[in-house]
Amino acid sequence: MTIIEYNKCVNKVESKLFGFILKKTKDSELTKDIIQEAFIKLWINKDKVELLKASSWLFTTAYNHMVNIIKRQKIFISGDVNEKGEEDVDNDIGRNKIIISELKKLKQRDRRLIILRDVHGFTYEEIGTKMGLNETQVKVYLFRVRKILKERFKYLNR
């Protein structure tokens, strides 16, 4: 894909992509960031993406990026909703304090693995590179630490 083809594609898809993502996020600034990231990824992969498929590639890339962002945000903003449909903020704050306390009790390696994967959304390969582990080790360590945390958090769901 040439620079001219890239620019034409961006101009053609931009408003439709903005509307598509905005409908899901309901936040124009977040939508702009997501779309910008998708355009950057297209530019990086311009030699790999066929011009005829660039539009659908952009929609898929932007959608996947949006889902990843929403997943990361839910870790911090999800609150319980009581029977009246109101958020139980006090309960959520207490739960977050317990989670942070339990994370602090983990070995530094285990805490770092959980944060890199579940908070920041890094891939197993990226985590392995950052921590000097291979992908299999990352998966095994994450499985073990999640098992430990699951046991510790059983009482939170009561």
9 domain-assigned:
yes
User: What's the pLDDT score for residue 81?
Assistant: 43
Indicate whether 72 and 133 sit together in one domain.
no
Q: Tell me if the pTM is above 0.95.
A: no
Let me know whether 65 and 118 are in one domain.
Answer: no
* pLDDT score at 134: 92
Q: Based on the domain organization, do 95 and 68 belong to the same domain?
A: no
Beta bridge partners of 88: 80
Question: Domain holding 47: CATH number?
Answer: 1.10.1740.10
Q: Are 95 and 151 members of one domain?
A: yes
**Tell me, what's the pLDDT at 91?**
55
Residues with Cβ within 8 Å of 82's Cβ and at least 6 positions away in sequence, in order, are 88
For residue 131, what is the domain's CATH number?
Answer: 1.10.10.10
Q: How many Cα neighbours within 13 Å face the side chain of 146?
A: 11
pLDDT value for 106: 86
- Whether 42 maps to a domain, the answer reads yes
What pLDDT, on a 0 to 100 scale, did the predictor assign at position 82?
A: 44
Whether residues 49 and 99 fall in one domain: no
Task: Render pLDDT for 94-106 as a digit per residue (tens, 0 to 9).
Answer: 666 777 788 888 8
**124/151 same-domain check:** yes
In contact, 117 and 142? CB cutoff 8 Å:
yes
| pLDDT confidence tier of residue 29, bands split at 50, 70 and 90 | confident
Q: Give yes or no for residue 25 having a pLDDT over 70.
A: yes
Q: pLDDT grade, residue 76 (50/70/90)?
A: very low
State residue 98's pLDDT score: 75
- 64 and 114 belong to one structural domain: no
Does residue 66 share a domain with residue 28? yes
DSSP category for residue 53: G
Q: Are residues 127 and 69 in the same domain?
A: no
What is the domain extent for residue 71? 3-76
Same domain, 50 and 21: yes
| pLDDT of res. 92 | 56
Question: Is residue 49 in some structural domain?
Answer: yes
Average pLDDT of the chain? Answer: 80
Q: Structurally, how many domains does the chain consist of? A: 2
Q: Specify whether the CB–CB gap between 141 and 147 falls below 8 A.
A: no
Is 83 part of any domain?
A: no
